[in-house]
């Protein structure tokens, strides 16, 4: 019998992109601690459930430039697991690839760290069973080749053989260690703990090949409950994952139809029940009142909602999207026939182009935001609104 936790993409030190600078101190503190609290909850579950191992298949850190505080918080977690005689397996992915070549504080005895070459490490559990773990760490950010050919077939001398792999399904040669699912199944392992995709998904049932998703959502595209898998065969069957929520801060989107004015919108938000601190995207659909449209066009709607939010409310509005019948989806600019306005904006708002606009003196978190999908989507939306307003004022 074996029991372990699979937690991909922890991203310690993440900057939480897409938030307003007006974020109040209460929410700011919750967000700063969110990933650490999620990791603490994972550790408490590991100890309470008396698990044998914890697997971190890549992107344990959000980046390579980690502060002493981040290192210290992680070391506290690892020491707690070590004291409980719980093995920890760590590999590094595309965000923290350089960690494999950096000097770290001394890892606790029960921590296994995988280097850039595929390797197998074997441990003996407290019940005497032997477990082989095979994995690798990225040597660069893209890692444009599959590593599966280097993974050995299942070790028949151990009780369990587990694989750690940070990558995506695809063709060999593509970015992020793209792998072939059938080739992975053929290795004969008892479980594959995948990392890189921030949405939990089971790609294969027997053996289980799965993404656990991340333990705390990082931006508004990562909505919904986040956590980790607790995997076991306690019922005498194959290894099965069970999802455990962990993220204390939720990214959520709600749709509100036929909202006539600001006061009504504020009342709806006040009456809505939020179970936990929530970073909220609001979609206004069908008929939207002129007051709301005017505030949105002026770029004031989100800030007004933030300013009038009750101090103890469990939500913080970060974005309002107008998806109304009467809302223009783009300006009637004198473009040549057959030219799509939004397609032109999307062609302009690309990482390479945006990078040329940004000053070399721009802070790293600003550059990261505008290189992200969320930042580029926001920029495209703002360009459309600015051009639309300019067109409305033409004679």
State both tokens at 222: 């990562």
Give the pLDDT band of residue 395 (cuts 50, 70, 90): very low
Total domains present in the chain: 3
Low-confidence winner among 102-106, 245-249, 312-316 (lowest mean pLDDT): 102-106
Q: Where residue 209 sits, what CATH number does that domain have?
A: 3.60.21.10
Q: Can you give the pLDDT at residue 392?
A: 46
Domain edge (last residue) among 197, 214, 245: 245
pLDDT of 181-210, one tens digit each? 999 999 999 999 999 999 999 999 999 999
Residues 283, 169 within the same domain:
no
Question: Is residue 143 located within the same domain as residue 178?
Answer: yes
Instruction: Average the pLDDT over 335-363 and give the result.
Output: 59
Do 135 and 239 sit in the same domain of this protein? yes
pLDDT mean across residues, the chain = 85
Question: Phi, psi at residue 256, to the nearest 5°?
Answer: -125, 120
Lookup: tokens for 336: 């040549």
Q: Are 145 and 189 contained in the same domain? A: yes
CB-CB neighbours of 188 under 10 Å: 12
11, 97: one domain: yes
Nearest 10 degrees: CA dihedral of 198, 199, 200, 202?
A: -110
Confidence (pLDDT) at 23 = 75
Q: Is residue 165 over pLDDT 70?
A: yes
Radius of gyration of the chain (CA): 24
The answer, yes or no, to whether residue 25 has pLDDT greater than 80, is: no
If asked whether residues 339 and 280 sit together in one domain, one would say: no
Assess contact for 93 and 58: CB atoms under 8 A. Answer: yes
**Per-residue pLDDT for 113 more than 60?**
yes
- Domain stops at, among 202, 220, 245: 245
Q: Report CA torsion sign: 138, 54, 81, 63.
A: positive
Tell me: do 161 and 118 sit in the same domain.
Answer: yes
Question: At residue 126, does pLDDT exceed 50?
Answer: yes
**Residue 326 in this model has a pLDDT that exceeds 60:** no
| Same domain for 38 and 77 | yes
What six digits make up the tokens of 352? 């390479």
Residues 268 and 144 in one domain: no
Q: Is the pLDDT of residue 328 over 50?
A: no
What's the confidence (pLDDT) of residue 337?
55
Gap between the Cα atoms of 108 and 88, Å rounded: 9
CA count, 13 A, side-chain hemisphere, 38: 31
Q: What is the pLDDT of residues 46-82, one digit of tens each?
A: 999 999 999 999 899 887 666 678 888 899 999 999 9
- Whether residue 288 is predicted with pLDDT greater than 60 in this model: the reply is yes
25 shares a domain with 68: yes
Check whether 354 has a pLDDT greater than 90.
no
> Residue 20 above 90 pLDDT?
no
**Structural domain of 95:** 3-245
pLDDT of 394 > 50? The answer is no
Q: Do 110 and 185 fall within a single domain?
A: yes
SS3 377: helix
Residues 193 and 338 reside in one and the same domain = no
Find the mean pLDDT for residues 223-234: 94
Q: Of 245, 275, 293, which closes a domain? A: 245
DSSP letter assigned to residue 349: S
Cα(267)–Cα(86) distance, rounded to whole angstroms? 49
């Amino acid at each position: 019998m074996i029991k372990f936790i699979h937690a991909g993409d922890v991203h310690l030190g993440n900057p939480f992109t897409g938030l307003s600078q007006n974020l109040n101190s209460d929410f700011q503190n919750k967000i700063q601690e969110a990933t650490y609290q999620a990791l603490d909850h994972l550790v408490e579950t590991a100890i309470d459930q008396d698990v044998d191992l914890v697997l971190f298949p890549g992107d344990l850190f959000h980046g390579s430039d980690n502060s002493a505080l981040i290192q210290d918080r992680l070391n506290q977690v690892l020491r707690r697991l070590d004291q409980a005689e719980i093995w920890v397996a760590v590999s590094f992915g595309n965000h923290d690839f350089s960690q494999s070549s950096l000097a770290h504080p001394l890892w606790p005895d029960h921590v296994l760290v995988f280097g850039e070459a595929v390797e197998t490490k074997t441990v003996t559990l407290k019940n005497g069973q032997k477990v082989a773990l095979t994995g690798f760490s990225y040597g660069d950010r893209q890692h444009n080749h599959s590593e599966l050919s280097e993974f050995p077939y299942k070790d028949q001398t151990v009780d369990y053989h587990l694989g750690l792999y940070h990558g995506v399904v695809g063709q060999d040669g593509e970015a992020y260690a793209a792998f072939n699912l059938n080739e992975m199944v053929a290795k004969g392992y008892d479980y594959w703990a995948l990392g890189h995709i921030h949405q939990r998904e089971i790609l294969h049932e027997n053996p289980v090949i799965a993404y656990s998703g991340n333990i705390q959502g990082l931006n508004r595209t990562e909505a919904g409950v986040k956590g980790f898998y607790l995997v076991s065969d306690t019922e005498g069957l194959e290894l099965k994952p069970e999802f455990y929520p962990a993220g204390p801060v939720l990214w959520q989107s709600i749709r509100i139809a036929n909202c006539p004015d600001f006061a009504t919108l504020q009342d709806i938000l006040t009456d809505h029940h939020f179970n936990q601190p929530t970073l909220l995207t609001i979609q206004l659909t069908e008929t939207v009142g002129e007051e709301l449209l005017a505030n949105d066009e002026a770029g004031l709607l989100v800030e007004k909602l933030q300013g009038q939010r009750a101090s103890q409310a469990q939500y913080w509005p970060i974005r309002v999207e107008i998806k109304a019948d009467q809302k223009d989806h783009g300006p009637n600019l004198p473009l040549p026939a057959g030219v799509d306005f939004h397609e032109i904006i999307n062609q302009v708002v690309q990482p390479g182009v945006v990078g040329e606009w940004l000053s070399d003196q721009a802070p790293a978190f600003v550059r990261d935001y505008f290189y992200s999908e969320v930042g580029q989507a926001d920029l495209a939306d703002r360009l459309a609104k600015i051009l639309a307003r300019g067109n409305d004022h033409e004679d």
